[in-house]
Amino acid sequence: MKFGVENLACRRGEVTVLIGVTFDVAAGEALILRGPNGSGKTTLLRCLAGLTPPVAGRLLFSTEDVAYAAHADGLKAQLSVAENLQFWADIFGTHDIAPAVEAFELGGLLTRRAQDLSAGQKRRLSLSRLMLTGRAIWALDEPTVSLDAENVARFAAAITAHLAAGGSAILATHIDLGLPSARTLDISPFRAILQDAPSDDPFLDETFS
Amino acid sequence: MIALLRRDLKLAIRAGGGFGLGLAFFLILVVLVPFGVGPESGILSRIAPGILWVGALLSCLLSLDRIFQLDYEDGTLDLLATAPLPLEAAATLKALSHWLTTGLPLTIAAPFLGVLLSMPSEATLWLVASLAIGTPALSMLGTFGAALTVGLKRGGLLVSLLVLPLYMPTLIFGAEAVSRGAQGLPATTALLFLAAITAGCAALLPFASAAALRMNLR
């Protein structure tokens, strides 16, 4: 699904982090966000997911179409893998967990409690949830953290399949996933200049100088 | 929608879920009171309605900070906010599951604990009715308080401070209904006020809780 933003400004807390972000992503295409730590990748993704409303600019799509995967895994330790997946499948109204289990080979882990999984397995489970959302735009924040090479390949295959089916994706990642139709966007130029209190402020001068 | 309720109830009864914490606290409080004030049944039966209601209120308060905090910490709340389920519905379901795991067990246990405080038997019906009508309001107000403080570490104290004044009308009318019932006076008016508070909470607070959650997730 085609999506894009126009002149977007987003903030984190009270601070405006990004200004003037503009991009377009075609159906079947992935956009990879690059930028040093703290450059606003997470802020942009949270804005696209509809968690923080934009300060200015427009989102040229509905946030209802975005499936967001954050840093945090969002798993319930006391529930089994199958229960965790079933919960999200029911919330998103897709009800069938089979595609997720298949794509990330979770079949052998279904009855295990999430608290007994390794960090990489938790990550896999958390990523497999994307398949259950039935949404066309995947917004992923550092999806490959704690995945080994084999599972990175599995994850890349899942994204490739999603793109081939006409979906699209935007991801913040530092490694090369080898996606067929991926563009890279460096977001450092959009960084808002952090403004301190103006130095000629008369009140500040009187009080502190 | 039912999936969220089912999951919360499942989490509550599994290890570390905190189900029974409120009930145990209620039990301990009511068992200790006769030791504290002495075994004279005249005094006990006079203070029983108040003790039972204060006990129920404090037990509700005990588990409030868990309503959203755990979901916030593990990232589930972010994902829920992006899910098709509106946050208003999520807040309502959270309040409902809080009531099912605290308010409802308290309501069922209260008549038995009333015996320990030698509460007059005429009051039992009023006690059950007032708790059944009043405790949902406690859960809904508590959910609102929890939504307001969701991003704060150790927000429990702040929730209590925010929510306690809002609990006052429920406590006053609830205890009043029971003590009037115990004296054989008509108690319907107090009960109706209690019902009005609960109905008002049900109508307004899901929206307030959802707005507070949206603000805190930014």
- How many CA atoms are closer than 13 Å to the CA of B51, on its beta-carbon side? 27
Please report the sign of the dihedral spanned by the C-alpha atoms of residue B203, residue B68, residue B212, residue B173.
positive
Residue range B153-178: mean pLDDT, rounded: 90
Q: Over its length of 209 residues, how does chain A's per-residue pLDDT go in tens digits?
A: 788 888 888 888 788 888 888 888 888 888 998 888 888 888 899 999 988 888 888 888 888 889 998 888 888 888 899 999 999 989 888 888 888 888 888 888 888 888 898 888 899 899 888 888 888 899 998 888 888 888 888 888 889 988 898 889 998 888 888 787 788 888 888 887 765 444 454 444 444 43
> b/e per residue, B154-188, with b = 16+ CB within 10 A?
ebbeebbebbeebbebbbebbbbbbbbbbeeeebe
Split at pLDDT 50, 70, 90, the class of B22 is confident
CATH number belonging to the domain at A3-208, selected among 3.60.110.10, 3.40.50.300, 3.90.1210.10, 3.40.50.720: 3.40.50.300
Strands across the sheet with A182-186, in order?
Answer: A66-69, A137-141, A168-172, A30-34, A182-186
Q: What are phi and psi of B34, to 5 degrees?
A: -60, -30
DSSP A10-31: EEETTEEEEEEEEEEE-TT-EE
Split at pLDDT 50, 70, 90, the class of B166 is very high
Going by C-alpha positions, the residue among A165, A154, A138 that lies closest to residue A66 is A138
Residue A85 structure tokens: 């997946």
Q: Report the pLDDT value the prediction gives residue B32, as an integer from 0 to 100.
A: 93
- Tell me the pairing of strands A15-25 and A3-12: antiparallel
Give the start-to-end residue ranges of the domains of chain B.
Answer: 2-10+18-217
Q: Report the pLDDT value the prediction gives residue A194, as an integer from 0 to 100.
A: 60
The one-character DSSP state at B14 is S
Contact between chains at B74 and A93 (C-beta distance less than 8 A): no
Residue B212 structure tokens: 């507070």
Going by C-alpha positions, the residue among B15, B4, B53 that lies closest to residue B33 is B53
Residue A138 structure tokens: 């995947």
**Shortest Cα–Cα distance, A205 to chain B (Å):** 33
Residues of B in contact with A73 (CB under 8 A): 74-75
The winner for highest mean pLDDT among A181-195, B8-22, B66-80 is: B66-80
Split at pLDDT 50, 70, 90, the class of B171 is very high
Contact between chains at A74 and B17 (C-beta distance less than 8 A): no
Could you tell me if B118 lies within 8 Å of chain A, comparing CB atoms? Answer: no
Q: Residue A33, SS3?
A: strand
Q: What are the beta bridge partners of residue A30?
A: A169, A182
Instruction: Tell me if B171 sits within 8 A of B54, measured CB to CB.
Output: yes
Instruction: Tell me if B29 sits within 8 A of B62, measured CB to CB.
Output: no
Instruction: Tell me if B23 sits within 8 A of B100, measured CB to CB.
Output: no
**Shortest Cα–Cα distance, A121 to chain B (Å):** 16
Residue range B172-184: mean pLDDT, rounded: 91
